[in-house]
Amino acid sequence: MIGLDDYTVHEDRRLVGRIRYATERSPGLWLWTCVVTLPGPPFGEAGSLDEAKGRFKVSWEDFKAKHRTDELANAFEEMNRAIRPVR
């Protein structure tokens, strides 16, 4: 549990997602996300916005170079399905 109405989801002691109540939405609603993606998703930190942009660009290009085009396309398709599920 991260906080009140904010939970991490684990399977076999591994973090696989998050569920939280979004009070910033009107009306409020529960948001969930699966955080398991292709291996090695880049992330990091920086001291300024410009530095963050530069580091993101380098990391994103490296990440794309490690995965086939079809793997990336499938990952994007799955992400879109999770964001906009068929109702």
pLDDT tens-place string over residues 72-84 = 888 778 766 765 6
Q: Is the per-residue pLDDT at 87 higher than 60?
A: no
- The pLDDT value recorded for residue 82 is 60
pLDDT tens-place string over residues 19-65 = 999 888 788 889 888 776 666 666 777 887 888 889 888 888 888 88
The residue type at 68: R
- The pLDDT value recorded for residue 7 is 92
Strand pairing class (29-34; 14-22): antiparallel
